[in-house]
Chains A and B, each alone.
Chain A
Amino acid sequence: MIRKIFFILLISLLASCAEPEAPVVETTIDDRLNAELLRLGFTDGMPELPPVFGPYEPSVVVDKEIYITASAPYTPEGTWITGLVTHDTPAEHMLYAAELSVIQALNRIRLAAGGDLNNIGGLHHVVVMTTAPEGYPHVEMVAQATSEMIIRVLGPEVGAHSRSILRSISLPVNMTHETEIRAYLK
């Protein structure tokens, strides 16, 4: 009997010593997008799409398939990040350009999805386009950051994607970087 009481007391003691479980905080796509926007300096939420450079569309929807035009980095100040990546370009600069171009791409997808990223069913593929020269050591890291940012916003299920890195000798209007996302609606 004494042994039983001792055993129950021991279990109770161990249970009381265990760390309390952190409360699970449910976040929405909009919450996560806003957090990314704030982190990148967009204090007024998603910016308006800048005008395109010719007779083409920022996005096209066919049935449930969403196509977007390759998206360049557009800053909160309303300027483009231009200039080729060289071996002297700091990783942080390329990372900032990549993250801003993800925002542009998500913005185009959002508008194609009726203004709401919750209407996205999933992603097919992401293309990370860089002007980095051969041997530039941070391309893989930037591509990884691009994928992680997309998954942070859309979540692991909707945001899961295949990815390719495309090295372009230069990009239109001397853009530093571009991102293209192929998505589909629910």
Chain B
Amino acid sequence: MIKYFLKTIMTLALILGPVSVWAQSDDYRDQATIDAAFKAELVILGFENGEYPDAAPKFEVTDNFIHVKSVSALKPDGTIAQGQVTVDVTTEDVVHASALACAATINQLKIAASGDLSRIRKVANIRYTTFTVADWWDYIPGSNSCSEMILRVFGKSAGAHTRHAEGHGTSEGNETYRIEMLAYLK
């Protein structure tokens, strides 16, 4: 019994060891890996078949530099996350809106990269904008929601980024959350 237990542990260590090292190493992911990771995020967010709906381009490409303009938090039902934090929505809603806006931003990168996210060399900077009141400043969970998704999808080499979060007391279309991103193509 003990022998069997030790054997199982050693087998697991042999299998998981290299996976763990791979996960921590600085490497760029291939298209299939990134697509699978993005699809998994879309499934969790409720997008049918893990596919993002058609979207109009909201970016500018100059040489290999991509500037994704302010992107909204589109829900799977086609509406946009709305409401002012603490008045209409909670910090948890902000976390969800951030994930939705993040998926929309990754989709923009995909369009900019001609459908191949493995062509993204680096996410350099993310700007998070929240529609809020002055006495709320719990921005970190919302920002982390997208920062973590970027790392899950692109890995550390392409996904490690700088960021900035700000809040505004008014919002066009009453939108809760928007994301802007600076990235580079390979």
A62 touches which one: B139, B140, B184 (CB < 8 A)?
B184
* A and B contact pairs by CB, cutoff 8 A, 30 listed: A54-B140, A54-B143, A54-B144, A54-B147, A55-B144, A55-B147, A55-B148, A56-B126, A56-B147, A56-B161, A56-B162, A57-B162, A58-B162, A60-B125, A62-B121, A62-B124, A67-B162, A67-B182, A68-B162, A70-B163, A84-B135, A131-B134, A168-B166, A168-B168, A169-B134, A169-B168, A170-B132, A170-B136, A170-B139, A171-B137
Q: Interface size on B (CB < 8 Å)?
A: 30
Q: How many Å lie between the Cα of A13 and that of B82 in the bound state?
A: 81
Q: How far is the CB of A116 from chain B (nearest CB, A)?
A: 20
List the interface of chain A (C-beta within 8 A of B).
53-60, 62, 65, 67-70, 84, 129, 131, 166, 168-175, 178, 180
Contacting pair B161 A57 (CB below 8 A):
yes
Number of A-B contacts (CB under 8 A): 84
Whether A180 contacts B164 by the Cβ 8 Å rule is: yes
- Residues on B with C-beta less than 8 A from A173 are 137, 139-140
B34 at the binding interface (Cβ < 8 Å): no
Give the A-binding residues of B (Cβ under 8 A): 121-122, 124-126, 132-137, 139-140, 143-144, 147-148, 151, 160-169, 182, 184
Q: Assess whether B184 is in contact with A171, with CB atoms less than 8 Å apart.
A: no
Q: How far is the CA of A60 from the CA of B148 in the complex (A)?
A: 16
Contact indicator A168/B167 (Cβ below 8 Å): yes
- Which residue from chain A places its CB closest to the CB of B140 in the assembled complex? A53
- Measured between beta carbons, the chain A residues less than 8 angstroms from B121 are 62
**B80 CB to nearest A CB, Å:** 20
On whether the beta carbons of A169 and B122 are closer than 8 Å, the reply is: no
Task: Report A-chain residues with C-beta under 8 Å of the C-beta of B169.
Answer: 169
Q: Which residues of B contact A55 (CB under 8 A)?
A: 144, 147-148, 151
Do residues B124 and A65 form an inter-chain contact, with CB atoms below 8 A?
Answer: yes
A residues less than 8 Å from B184 (CB atoms): 62
Give A59's nearest chain B residue, CB to CB. B162
Other 15 A-B pairs with CB < 8 A, given A54-B140, A172-B143, A173-B140: A54-B143, A54-B144, A56-B162, A60-B122, A60-B160, A60-B162, A62-B121, A69-B163, A70-B165, A129-B166, A131-B134, A169-B132, A169-B133, A170-B167, A172-B165
Q: State in angstroms the CA–CA spacing of A180 and B126 once bound together.
A: 13
> Shortest 4 CB-CB distances between A and B: which pairs?
A168-B166, A172-B139, A70-B164, A54-B144
Q: Which of B124, B125, B126, B168 gathers the greatest number of chain A CB atoms within 10 Å? A: B125
Contact between chains at B137 and A170 (CB < 8 Å): yes
